[in-house]
Structure 1
Amino acid sequence: MTPSAHTSEQAMAPVAAAPCAPLPASFLAPQALSQAVLKSKYLQPGELTAGDVFDRVAKAIASIEAPDQQAHFEAVFRLHLAAGAIGAGRIMASAGTGMAVTLANCFVQPVGDCLGGRDEGGYPGIHDALAQAAETLRRGGGVGYDFSRIRPQGARINGTGLNASGPCRFIDAFDKSCLALQSMGARRGAQMAVLRCDHPDVLAFIAAKQTPGRWSSFNVSVGITDAFMQAVEHDQMWDLVHRVSPRDLRPPAGLAASLATGPYVRGDGLWVYKTLPARTLWSAISHAAHHSAEPGLLFLDTIDRDNNLRAIETIEATNPCGEQPLPSYGGCVLGPIVLPRFVRNAFGQGGAAAFDTRAFAQAVRWQVRALDNVLDITAWPLPQQASEARAKRRIGIGFTGLGDTLVMLGLRYDQPQGRKMARTIAQTMRDHAYTASVALAKERGTYPLFDADVCLAPGTFASRLSPALRASVRKHGLRNSHLLSIAPTGSVSLAFADNTSTGIEPVFDWSYTRHFHAADGHRHRFEAQDHAWRIYQSLGSSALRLPSAFVTALQIRPEHHIAMVAAVQPFVDGAISKTLNLSAHTSADDIGALFMQAWREGLKGLTIFRPNRVHKAVLQPPIQPSRSSGD
């Protein structure tokens, strides 16, 4: 069945049948690491198995259905979870517990250019933003921020005679607040700091995490514009600007004359603090990423062009792992689907290996309803977040286990056939998610801000849907403004999917050592095995000579990692969390070239990881099976 097979009006009717039945219970013994993660992160008092978690979550998700339908939908959602369409970590840990925590993993919160109250643009001052962030982190959410509105170091502060300290000093305060919450027993907080590529303090921001221990609760990314990338390509000069003037209007000391024309007001009303070659800034980004694996990049114009709501909202940051670009106070509930559950005849045992597109499509449709329900049962940390969620009803259906799925189908992750299969899976997910959201809009109503002309404007994600589906969107609307997001899914893949490869990533290795910090504070060492490899071994195959589809992350050329994301991104209206694992021998210039490739191929962002003396590999392979001659 092709991904476009369900675009008729009949296919857009509400789904009435139960989801696909789960596969027969696995004959593989549970892995110790998976059991430890399940126990530490997801089992609640009285629960002993993953099935107990499914019972609790299904009951919670069904609780907003009509009273006479709740028992039916509870049974449907229970089958849905067992079949591989699960919730993200917050949902699986907390739904149905009665705890006042959020079921959303992703948030973005605004930070204004003042200490208290609101700045000229209506953004909350730093003290208020810090308090709001603390509440969101305390309730279990991860938060991203764009700190670019904060005036740079040395800028004028009206009426005080003082110089501004700049955004980096305030990021220190957000980091300390998060660490203080952890010391009081709160869940480990995750934050994302973004600064635009034209902010006068961007060089200090880029260098900050080269200091060991600084901003330890933060990932950091530079917000990159097309104009900057074009300036890099053409070796042009680049202005660092802000709306607030410098206190000292003399040329900055120590800068070469060619780099310092002195602060002045540009034609657009912004103050130019400094002008430098774009490639100088690009080199600083590449070398910092080479040294400390940060910053990552967010391609802001690519994100904006694709946004179904670009006419009515501005996106300047993402959640901490980068899979969900969000506006101010935006939040999103996530739900990955375990792709290996839909592989039939893995490794050609019993027939030709195939991906069950029909069953997967049905799971996607049910996932839309499940996550739409989650929006109404979650506790939102802030009233602004609740209002934003109600107005747009963002959800993030994704997948996990792509790497293992391709291995089980006999397809290499780094070859065109593997990317073609990934594209088919992603297109199926897109088409059936939007189909189901149309059906849900007919049943429950559209999201309040739905406007067909806005959503389907030329260039938006929705404008690339099939003609039949676009016509249905225009006629009936959508229940959810955004529907798709591919997250890292680390712990849920361990706990509920037998250590399948995570998200869009290839397999790290087939057998490796992993250290795990349990809830009791102890650090445990586990020997973990990849799910696809365990299946292969269970079939009586030799583990010492693997077929060519068994290719690991570090055996894949970096450009092929990027090509995989480029194949899938056109079918994901959110974003894709992707860390490009590089060898220790990768140079800073190589990293710059890879960042440039990512922008040219339409990625919305990219992060790299290169082991070094400061950042060592988390996972360590204890064995190395020999490769087949096909590799």
Structure 2
Amino acid sequence: MTDTTQAPSASTTGQGLTIERIYTTPGVHPYDEVTWEKREVEQTNWKTGEVIFRQEDVEFPDFWSVNASTIVTTKYFRGAVGSPQRETGLKQLIDRVVLTYVAAGRKHGYFATEDDALVFEHELTYCLLHQIFSFNSPVWFNVGTKSPQQVSACFILSVDDSMDSILNWYKEEGFIFKGGSGAGLNLSRIRSSKELLSSGGTASGPVSFMRGADASAGTIKSGGATRRAAKMVVLDVDHPDIETFIETKAREEDKIRALRDAGFDMDLGGEDITSVQYQNANNSVRVSDEFMRAVEAGDEFGLRSRTTGDVIEKVDARELFEKMAKAAWECADPGVQYDDTINHWHTNPETGRINASNPCSEYMSLDNSSCNLASLNLLKFLTDDNTFDTERFQAVTELVITAMDISICFADFPTESIGETTRNFRQLGIGYANLGALLMATGHGYDSEGGRQLAAAITSLLTGASYKRSAELAAIVGPYAGYAPNAEAHQRVMRQHRDANAQLAPMHEMDTHVQDAATEAWDAVVTLGAENGFRNAQASVLAPTGTIGFMMDCDTTGIEPDFSLVKFKKLVGGGSMQIVNQTIPRALRLLGYDDVTAQGIVDHIAEHGHVIDAPGLDPEHYSVFDTAMGERAIAPMGHVRMMAAVQPFLSGAISKTVNLPESATVEEIEEVYLEGWKLGLKALAVYRDNCKVGQPLSSGKGENKGTADDSSGKPAAEAPAPAVEKVVEYRPVRRRLPKRRTAQTTSFAVGGAEGYLTAGTYENGDLGEIFLKFGKQGSTLAGVMDAFSIAVSVGLQYGVPLETYVEKFSNLRFEPAGMTDDPDVRMAQSLMDYVFRRLALDYLDFDTRDFMGIHTAEERARHLATGSYAPEAGTETRGESEPTQEDDADLESQLESYSQSIAPASARRPEGASSVAADAVEPADTAVEGAAAATDRAAVAGGTTVSAEVHSSAELMEQKLGKAADAPLCMTCGIKMRPAGSCHICEGCGSTSGCS
């Protein structure tokens, strides 16, 4: 880290800011206006129930959710647990950050008087205390501690065409990864493999040097954690090695598949995965307008030498574009960045071009620079009378942007070059979260013109208010050091923003009110900027807001739509409770539904997870409740159009992935990429469901072979750019079981349904047949299950691997589902899910099961204790593990905590609930009944309906949130993560998959 705390302060040209009160009362501290309570923060492994973190007597406001307080305590509190240095409450955390900002503001001349400094302190404290906004995670980690005062989450590096520069790139990335952040860079300056070195030899090309950087990133775990580092690699479309770059990750996916099928350990933590390259970065192609026009026209496009700039090869632009889309169809890489659009909105072109972005693509600025982020919680500005509090929104924006700029005065940076650029240009990234919830609460469909207009107006006001304050700060503490040579360009971009705002066409009174305020702000920006200049080269981005979104108790992250209509609420005593989103009743009231009808709709959502055929709900209103996943998933172009609506009002770009169904075609991805360019986006990334065949816990659906031939339903001749495969024909031979064979029968209960699984084996112990019998079944179901058993048995005898059946049938969701009496498989999403998980545990070797994420209770306990599921050498891993007294005691303890957390409650079984026969499950059923009664009373009081189920959050997530098979498991607590922008976020503990 470079030490910048002694850097000279900015010259003071004015008298300092006068800070107006927004929420606070003179003479009253914000802490004195809330009720505080002591909590025990405990985090458990969702599978085993073992405690992995506990801190007692942690103080939080009573309105903070258990989830928010848990995430803040485990992620942001500093000091070793149990030591005197350990922070014990939210007050300490907020004071540590806010008082550091205030002290720096005083030192560098930001405040007109001491009273203004005090008001600034109180307003900043109030907003953080009431979850109105949050700084990005590095601020909470580092500010006010003895650690380097790192405040930035986003970094952009650079690399030149020399070995010194390339090796320095490896080193700088390593330092950034070590600090827990991510970085991006453009490799296009490195000469291609089709060019000569000065010595006369042939150059290696940038793709070869990507191997070394990828290996480094895979070795240096981000922030010392077990997750991988986050990075972005960009290559210009006119680089001679662009085709190799496009195909790198798609070819590696083929390698993963082949090696896995050959029996190698291709788990992400396995010893053989190191043979697979380029897995630690997001790849993006930087396309130009010239290239995109050639794609439309079907023209040739020239690839240029890096050393001379001459065209050394011509390619068919349309074919190259199809290869980009096909590779993205196969493995989600590469994304695209639209170079001319990015640099058209660049405020500092005289200093240098924008060549790259951070890993999530929202921060786009000069090479060797960084950006600190903060996000506002939009739902906090929706008043009780369903109006948007425009005045307070603008005031809070100006307050926060002031604090963000102050942080640069004392911040440390990982390299001197990054520190110098950041201090000279003072890039900021204010944004927001909870847009999806705000749109739903105000009766706007996410994919609707009204929803896009409101989002655009709010974004316009956000950036306009930020630059207005930036111009005011320039009059007080001076413009950024690099402003003078870029003044004309910066002012031109401000006029572009203002003109885009003038093109908005508000559809409702709310939109109109917000846009009127934005118009005033942009007029002031242009006027004040011409007089004073600007304090900041950049003001706004839309980041993923993963962990800080949970800190603010947001329903949705960044610009994302609502993930689902059902959420999970942590209980004080442990576990979680399924609840319908609190914004839904509010939206129904706004749409004119009476309380009785609204309650019926909410009950329907609680049962089904969607609004289709909800009693009394007008189908015209379905779109208001569309979500990212599920029965009414928003179409891919709905995501693109929302991004396009807000992009003209952002300094940077947007962290968002356009999700496509598994059935999407290469042509659909081409359309997304083409429309993104036409609509003026700066960057786009796509993800086709289940395209990463090497992803842990893949559902195995779709028989994805990495080519487009069968995905569209077209014959191979019609499929775009099909891959050529060598076909080898063979005839399988049936290996029959001996007449007398060994078999074992397992009794089980899933969600109250009892059954028996009989498995027969060959002499060597390999599985060869199964028989399934279920209690109280009719003759039809009995016949179906017999036929199913025969089909699986014949397949096993013809050589179909058991792991293939496990991939196909585990994670299937249908009733009966729920708790089981098996200590190794505590929850099952269906009878098939249980049966094939049990078979995997009994008959598959450890390495295969580990790859699939299927472990015994003993292995899960070992992972918590040692960090590894693997048994010690010589330990037998096949076969059923018997439940121990400790297992039973552990289950009873968990169930007791469920009951105590929601008692007293009258016992009432929800309609349609199945009875539970297994003794081991009966206590859980009692807890469920108690939860139903307790939460029904809560629903009457608070307008929120809660379903009568209490399960692990991971199981509920898979049952109600739709398919998320390609999401990774959280490395901290084991819960399957969900998308947040270009990253993944864990709802259980707040961990992210790589982006800060």
Kindly report which structure 2 residues correspond to 1:122-521, keeping only aligned pairs within 5 A, or say none: 125-159=165-199, 161-182=200-221, 185=224, 188-210=228-250, 211-212=252-253, 213-244=276-307, 269-345=308-384, 351=385, 353-451=386-484, 452-457=487-492, 461=496, 464=499, 466-494=522-550, 496-511=551-566
Deviations 1:275-305 (A, max 9, x none): 2210111011101111111111100100001
Aligned counterpart, 1:55: 95
Q: Distance in 2 between matches of 1:82 and 1:331?
A: 27
Using the size of structure 2 for normalisation, the TM-score is 0.53
Aligned counterpart, 1:571: 649
Give the letter aligned to residue 457 of structure 1: R
Q: Distance in 2 between matches of 1:222 and 1:459?
A: 28
Deviation at 1:20, TM superposition (A): 3.2
Deviations 1:234-255 (A, max 9, x none): 00011222234xxxxxxxxxxx
Deviation at 1:214, TM superposition (A): 2.7
Deviations 1:418-476 (A, max 9, x none): 11111121121122111111111122111122233231237875674844431211012
Whether 1:558 aligns to 2:636 is: yes
Aligned mate of 1:20, from 12, 20, 23:
23
Q: 1:477 to 1:199 in 2, by over 3 A?
A: same
Q: Secondary structure at the match of 1:368?
A: helix
Deviations 1:601-621 (A, max 9, x none): 000011111111445599954
Deviation at 1:74, TM superposition (A): 2.9
Give the letter aligned to residue 18 of structure 1: R
What stretches of structure 2 of length at least 5 have no aligned partner?
Answer: 1-15, 25-29, 36-60, 80-85, 108-113, 254-275, 500-520, 589-594, 606-610, 612-620, 700-953, 963-996
Aligned counterpart, 1:601: 679
Deviation at 1:127, TM superposition (A): 0.9
Aligned mate of 1:79, from 113, 126, 129:
126
Q: 1:535 to 1:219 in 2, by over 3 A?
A: farther
**Native 8 Å contact 1:231 1:237 kept in 2:** yes
Deviations 1:313-337 (A, max 9, x none): 2111001100011211111111111
Give the letter aligned to residue 75 of structure 1: H
**Native 8 Å contact 2:249 2:278 kept in 1:** yes
Give the letter aligned to residue 626 of structure 2: V
Q: Distance in 2 between matches of 1:179 and 1:525?
A: 34
**Native 8 Å contact 2:177 2:223 kept in 1:** no
Give the letter aligned to residue 128 of structure 2: L
- Greater shift, 585-594 or 84-93, is seen at 84-93
Aligned length: 564
Deviation at 1:149, TM superposition (A): 1.0
**Native 8 Å contact 2:566 2:578 kept in 1:** yes
Give the letter aligned to residue 325 of structure 1: M
Q: Distance in 1 between matches of 2:548 and 2:348?
A: 30
Q: Secondary structure at the match of 2:319?
A: helix
Q: Distance in 1 between matches of 2:527 and 2:483?
A: 15
Aligned counterpart, 1:266: none
Q: Distance in 1 between matches of 2:578 and 2:210?
A: 37
Q: Distance in 1 between matches of 2:661 and 2:445?
A: 20
Give the letter aligned to residue 216 of structure 1: Q
Q: Distance in 1 between matches of 2:448 and 2:677?
A: 21
- Greater shift, 138-147 or 181-190, is seen at 181-190
Q: Secondary structure at the match of 1:484?
A: coil
Using the size of structure 1 for normalisation, the TM-score is 0.82
**Native 8 Å contact 1:20 1:362 kept in 2:** no
**Native 8 Å contact 2:662 2:688 kept in 1:** yes
**Native 8 Å contact 1:305 1:460 kept in 2:** no
**Native 8 Å contact 2:441 2:584 kept in 1:** no
Aligned-residue Cα RMSD (Å) equals 3.1
Deviations 1:215-259 (A, max 9, x none): 232111100100000000000011222234xxxxxxxxxxxxxxx
Give the letter aligned to residue 19 of structure 2: A
Q: 1:183 to 1:506 in 2, by over 3 A?
A: closer
Q: Distance in 1 between matches of 2:628 and 2:75?
A: 27
Aligned counterpart, 1:110: 158
Q: Distance in 2 between matches of 1:194 and 1:460?
A: 29
**Native 8 Å contact 2:239 2:306 kept in 1:** no
- Greater shift, 485-494 or 72-81, is seen at 72-81
Deviation at 1:152, TM superposition (A): 1.4
Q: Distance in 2 between matches of 1:460 and 1:206?
A: 37
Q: 1:426 to 1:591 in 2, by over 3 A?
A: same
Whether 1:94 aligns to 2:150 is: no
Query: Considering only CA atoms, is the larger Rg found in Structure 1 or Structure 2?
Result: 2
Q: Secondary structure at the match of 1:66?
A: helix
Deviation at 1:30, TM superposition (A): 2.2
Give the letter aligned to residue 536 of structure 2: N
Q: 1:620 to 1:501 in 2, by over 3 A?
A: same
Q: Secondary structure at the match of 1:227?
A: helix
Q: 1:468 to 1:339 in 2, by over 3 A?
A: closer
Q: Distance in 1 between matches of 2:494 and 2:126?
A: 38
Q: 1:563 to 1:208 in 2, by over 3 A?
A: same
- Greater shift, 232-241 or 128-137, is seen at 128-137
Q: 1:584 to 1:48 in 2, by over 3 A?
A: farther
**Native 8 Å contact 1:461 1:573 kept in 2:** no
**Native 8 Å contact 1:62 1:77 kept in 2:** no
Q: Distance in 2 between matches of 1:150 and 1:530?
A: 53
Q: Distance in 2 between matches of 1:182 and 1:458?
A: 39
- Greater shift, 211-220 or 170-179, is seen at 211-220
Deviation at 1:556, TM superposition (A): 1.2
Q: Secondary structure at the match of 1:275?
A: strand
What stretches of structure 1 of length at least 5 have no aligned partner?
Answer: 1-12, 117-124, 245-268, 346-350, 515-523, 626-631
Q: Distance in 2 between matches of 1:581 and 1:50?
A: 37
Q: Distance in 1 between matches of 2:208 and 2:123?
A: 51
Deviations 1:328-381 (A, max 9, x none): 111111111111111123xxxxx4x22211111111000111100111222111
